[in-house]
Structure 1
Amino acid sequence: MELSDLKIFCCVIEAGGISPAAKALNRVPSNITARIQKLEAELNKTLFIREKNRLRASPAGEKLFSYAKKILAMAEQAIDELNQDKPMGTLRLGSVEAVAASRLSGVLMEFHQSCSEVDLELTISPTGDLADKILASKLDLALVCDPISDQRVGILPVFQEKLVLVSALRDDVIRSPIDLGNKPTILGFSTQCMYRSRLTQWLKHAEVIPRIVEINSYFALLNCITAGMGVGLVPEKLLDCYPFVDGLTKHPLPEEISKTTTCLMWRKDSLKPSMTAFIDTLMLHSNI
């Protein structure tokens, strides 16, 4: 079925016949008759009962009329929405947990107030998983650390972060991997976490082989570090949100380890008004 055939069919019913429908549509009656016959042949149903010079809808015609009105209304709505730039629909946002905890509360509040017709979904996951979801079009936008290089992906630097090594309270300062001892315990997310990758690479260069304990929440990780279970690498900004920060010691690291940029990434071929609106709101909070 073609939408144009459904429009003609509905017009014949609403106008009360072929001739008035032809006049309303500025067509010749024979064209209207041919289109109705085509539709009947496609559906293998008689849509009109012909009585002398009048037509009335058959039971099948009445049923099709109900569906046709809905189909035409949905088609018109789809065209209207595709042709407008107002942010609406669902926006699927991803973020690494540290950024979501320390940077996003104000951004999300402002975006919700200015774009109330957008339904925002937030996914928390490590950078590697978020990048995979962007490429697979399972997320619209994602805030990540050390993003992948891919021609399909747009990248926008948003936050400059300083990473610090944190341990339980101690007098000695950790300046190099050797200061951690022979078999240190480090706490971190999965292997897809870029902060963990940076820390393990730093230790590897000094030939220090750590014991790794995976934890899936930064606040759980900080609690474990406070309890003396090991050390971890976190954005310094995150510690502003941690209520027991007085139980931790921060250790500065070399710039190649500590300096990182949180970036927003998205598929270039999938940009939509809600994404553009979120980017505009986010950049008002950028520190770059």
Structure 2
Amino acid sequence: MELSSLRIFKTVAEEGGVTQAAARLNRVQSNVSARLTQLEESLGVTLFHRSGRRMLITEEGERLLAYTERLLQLADEAQEAMRGDRQPSGPLRIGSMETTAAARLPQVLGQFHRQYPQVDLLLDTGPTDYLVQAVLNHRVDMALVAAPVERPELMQLPVFDEELVLLTDSLHGPVKSPTDVARRTLLGFRSGCSYRRRLERWFAEGGVSPARIAEFGTYEAIIGCVAAGMGVAMMPREVLKLRELSQSVRIHTLSADMARVQTMLIWRRDIAQHAARDAFAAAFDALQER
């Protein structure tokens, strides 16, 4: 089995289809399909059930995927070990919460790119639960997520202290407790977002149920819908400050136990050597020392 074929197989499994995998790998679809068929024929098993354009992984495929992730990781580690003391280079896959990517990452990424231009930075955004699994499953090398992260397999570095605030439309009155926004729609990211969980907990602790929950893919969409009076949301104050969005909505402070949250940089504990990853973690340490 060639590593390149295994990488194609893994990408198809993650993307759920040849079209998406080909786009991610910058390959033509026919090449991806052919390599996948060759791999199945060499192993004598069916790795995917074809359902239209969807590829549903089989039991044999799941078994191979577990070995594939380990083999590819070992290959990456070997490559890193052979680089020795050379400058970090190659791809560095970073995961980040949407709001962190908007408000916190630009300065760090810009500085890191200037210092290590040979590193190819790739960014994937999503909620905390998605990002934790992405690190565990080797889809990203490291990720910025909200604490707490109770996974002993992961190393954790605290990098930011965030203050979460409640957002309503600008004409809304003061909010002292969840009863002041009773029966409003909760606007947030998809399930797995730690900030959304906090807002749901805030409602629950006040004995109040939101009218419904509306999910969005971007923080701009959430803030825009809050400004339009469609519901309430919870967001880091830093996002509003840096994007100058505080005039379009009303900001309400929360109690310290609800508002304060740490952003953690996480990566797999069992991957001892990764020059680009270690350099990126060091960039946060340098930023905090200023």
Q: Do they fold alike, i.e. is TM over 0.5?
A: yes
C-alpha change, 1:138 and 1:246, in structure 2 (3 Å) is: same
Is 1:172 aligned to 2:173, yes or no?
yes
TM-score, length-normalised on structure 1? 0.69
Q: Is the 8 A contact 2:167 2:233 kept in 1?
A: yes
Give the % identical residues: 35
Q: In 1, Cα distance between the equivalents of 2:224 and 2:204?
A: 26
Q: 1:167 to 1:287 in 2, by over 3 A?
A: farther
Structure 2 counterparts to residues 52-131 of structure 1, below 5 A: 81-131=82-132
**Are the structure 2 counterparts of residues 104 and 78 from structure 1 closer, same or farther at C-alpha, using a change threshold of 3 Å?**
closer
Letter in 2 for 1:195: Y
**Aligned residue identity for 1:278:** F
Contact 1:158 1:287 in 2 (8 A): no
Root-mean-square deviation over aligned CA pairs: 2.0
Counterpart-to-counterpart distance in 1, 2:80 and 2:170:
62
Structure 1: give runs of 5+ residues left out of the alignment. Answer: 1-76
What residue is the counterpart of 2:286 in the other structure? 284
* Aligned partners of 1:159 and 1:287 also within 8 Å: no
Correspondences of 1:1-288 after superposition (within 5 Å): 81-170=82-171, 172-181=173-182, 183-210=183-210, 211-270=212-271, 271-286=273-288
Q: CA deviation at 1:93?
A: 0.3
- Give the structure 2 partner of residue 72 of structure 1: none
Give the Å deviation of 1:172: 1.9
Gaps of 5+ in 2: 1-77
| CA distance in structure 2 between the partners assigned to 1:118 and 1:91 by the alignment | 7
Does the 8 Å contact 2:88/2:118 carry over to 1? yes
TM-score, normalised relative to structure 2: 0.69
Judge conservation of contact 2:80–2:275 (CA < 8 Å) in 1: no
Please say which of residues 168-177 and 134-143 is displaced more in the overlay.
Answer: 168-177
Which aligned segments of 4 or more residues in structure 1 are displaced greater than 4 angstroms?
Answer: 77-80
The 8 Å contact of residues 80 and 274 in structure 2, kept in 1 or not, is answered as: no
SS state of the match for residue 138, structure 1?
coil
CA distance in structure 1 between the partners assigned to 2:80 and 2:229 by the alignment: 60
Alpha-carbon distance in 1 for matches of 2:188, 2:204: 16
**Higher Rg:** 1
8 A Cα contact 2:97 2:145, kept in partner = yes
Deviation at 1:193, TM superposition (A): 0.2
Give me the whole-angstrom Cα distance separating, in 1, the residues matched to 2:276 and 2:186. 39
1:242 Cα deviation (Å)?
3.0
Letter aligned with residue 273 of structure 1: A
C-alpha distance in 1, partners of 2:181/2:252? 12
